[in-house]
Structure 1
Amino acid sequence: MSDAKAWIAAPLGLEPSREERAFFSGERPWGFILFARNIDGPSQLGELVEMLKELGGRDTTPIFIDQEGGRIQRLRPPLAPQRPAAKAIGTVYAEDREAGTRLAFLHGRLLAADLMRYGINADCIPCLDVPVEGAHDIIGDRALSTDPQTVAVLGRAMASGAMAGGVLPVMKHMPGHGRGRSDSHKELPMVSATRRELASRDFTPFAELSDLPCAMTAHILFTDIDDKRCATLSPIVVNEVIRTEIGFDGLLMTDDISMKALTGPFSDRAQAAVDAGCDVVLHCNGDMDEMRAVVRGVPLLDGASRRRAVDAEAWIVAPKDEIELAELTEEYDRLMTVPA
């Protein structure tokens, strides 16, 4: 990892082009992220993952994906079973806490098995956002609950399931996307709640899970904390809220900096995120010109950021448990039907 740069890249198609291979070899992203556009079939996907790990230079090169269940699931049948959205787990927990907690663990564990079949070793779960009434449905049923403590309990169990399966979990979207009234893919959401209100609700699950190895930022402008810069680009939010108040010292990656919530040249966006205190910059759309600009704004992974990256990669291992997939799936399906 000594020459890895502080960014995560996304190939454009089903395999890296010659231009992409040369570019990734030279600019050495810390990891890669996959989308539906990169997935065609089992053998193709497995080969793509192996190519990306070779380009990353190590077996533990993180290969990220958004595999939550529900509408956010890049691998779909027949490549992987369709899993329910996180809200369904919260519904079970409301009826039976023990069953709901076990179900959350199994959800993370089975998602890990679905991914590791193809060598994918990092999943952007759990979603720890706590929606409020009137919020945009970009989070919606991706949330485990509208109760912060429930989100914390179930998020912990889900992350534990993923890690038991050798997959690095990425909690999101720190310090909270639940109050956003617009979709940050399209515009910058602005949240006017006071810092005290945010601390009592939105920050709670992240603080409870602050020992997890990896987190993703929210492109949200919290006007009571920093009325000029969204969380991803705000030294105040990153240092005072995320690092100090929430107490997170794991690897902090940005949400996709090609989202419309952010503006300006991509090199400036990337540098601003790093200057704010983010460890790694995520770029998702595969546009080569944008990626060339991004790498001009990011440094080599060094110092505390390199330490955090090493610690995060340590969770990418062979599964820690022996499982009978059919038995766990049967238990998962049974628990999912607990509510009458």
Structure 2
Amino acid sequence: MAAFKNKIIPVIFGLHGQFLNNDEIKLIKNNKIYGFIIFERNILNLVQLKKLIKHIKSISPNDPLIMIDHEGGRVNRFNKIFSQKKYTAEYFGKLYLIDRKNFYKETSYFIDFNVSIFKFLGIDTVAYPVADLKYKKTHKVIGDRSFSNNSRIVNKLCEYFIEKYQDKGINCIAKHAPGHGLAVVDSHFKLPIVEENKENLFKKDFLCFKNLRSKFLMIAHIKYIFLDFKIATYSSKILTLIRKKINFKGLVMTDDICMKALKENLKTKVTQPLLAGCDIILHCNGNINEMKKIIGILKKWMSQKI
């Protein structure tokens, strides 16, 4: 596993609040943790957030990734500071089709603004773009977060945003492979089961992710019954498909293992994705007791693998 090099623990943690508490400080100081994810609960204002990130980096024994799950539209972690309500993926997808000149103007503004904020704060990675295909009669959890109901447009716009962000020094995490669009329930609360046949999945949903060059790819907590009886997060078949058929060359991370789609115990949630071929575990809820347990599980795992 790529993330095991130099004994860096392959997990990205969410933190509890706007400042590190004593338990978090101790955990960070004593472990080479791969990275940390920022949520709205961690943000009071930009100066406070900059100090929080600086504190994390100053006490880490390695150089941790600092990630934010920020898309614009309704997924805006800076809602208390500025709005990007207009800038949904759907907005950009429609603009691309009807007004190409304005599309490039608007995307340039959106990306440049976000990059300037991220760099000021010390954020180096954004969970964007959403490469899920839009469907009319599935769960609204994706909805306007998708660029289009056309696979080739989704793929093309994902490539565009990834290139623009990464050329400016911000790593991208494309999501939610190999496709969340067909889900009729929200994986935050329940396990989606997709019954689409393999041929249609390859023609439509999976095509959205084809050849994307993002640094990271996030895998969905979804069961695709015509691919494997296991949830994608735990499936070596689906991880192999992502590597070989979808042709993803970067690092694969789980979606948040705290989501209710995953019902297994903590050890299973942490180890099964790694056994299947994931590189990094994402744990977002900021529960320090779970974080300590995960560190123990992963250190044991790494000692057996190295």
**TM-score (normalizing by structure 2):** 0.91
The aligned residue for residue 89 of structure 1 is: 92
The match for 1:70 among 70, 73, 87 is: 73
- Whether contact under 8 Å (2:190, 2:260) holds in the other structure is yes
Residue 116 (structure 1) aligned with residue 119 (structure 2): yes
Change (3 A) 1:152 1:99: farther
* 8 Å contact from structure 1 (residues 107, 161) kept in 2: no
Cα distance change on mapping 1:83 and 1:75 into 2, 3 Å: farther
Sort the Cα spacing of 1:53 and 1:203 in 2 relative to 1 into closer, same or farther, 3 A.
same
Q: What runs of 5+ residues in structure 2 fail to find an aligned partner? A: none
Would the aligned equivalents of 2:192 and 2:222 in 1 still touch at CA under 8 Å?
Answer: yes
Counting only pairs closer than 5 Å after superposition, residues 1-340 of structure 1 correspond to structure 2 as: 2-59=6-63, 61-76=64-79, 78=81, 84-97=87-100, 99-100=102-103, 103-104=106-107, 106-209=109-212, 211-227=213-229, 229-239=230-240, 241-298=241-298
Question: What's the offset of the Cα at 1:93?
Answer: 1.1
Q: Report the secondary structure of 1:246's partner residue.
A: coil
What amino acid does structure 2 have at the position aligned with 1:17?
N
Specify the code of the residue in structure 1 equivalent to 2:263: T
The offset of 1:56, in angstroms, is: 3.4
Which SS does the other structure have where 2:152 is aligned? Answer: helix
Q: Distance in 2 between matches of 1:191 and 1:103?
A: 35
CA offsets per residue over residues 39-70 of structure 1, 9 Å max, x none? Answer: 101221001011122343345x2111111001
> 1-side partners of 2:13 and 2:56: how far apart?
10
SS of equivalent to 2:130: coil
Check conservation: 2:9, 2:34, Cα contact below 8 A: yes
One-letter amino acid of the structure 1 residue matched with residue 220 of structure 2: A
Whether the aligned pair in 1 keeps the contact of 2:194 and 2:223 (CA below 8 Å) is yes
Distance in 1 separating the partners of 2:91 and 2:165? 18
Measured in 2, the distance between the counterparts of 1:100 and 1:208 equals 23
CA contact 1:215–1:250 (8 Å) conserved in 2:
yes
* Structure-2 residue corresponding to 1:321: none
SS at match of 2:12: strand
Question: Which 5+ residue runs of structure 1 have no aligned equivalent?
Answer: 307-340
Aligned residues: 300
Percent of pairs with identical residues: 31
RMSD: 2.2
TM-score normalized by the length of structure 1: 0.82
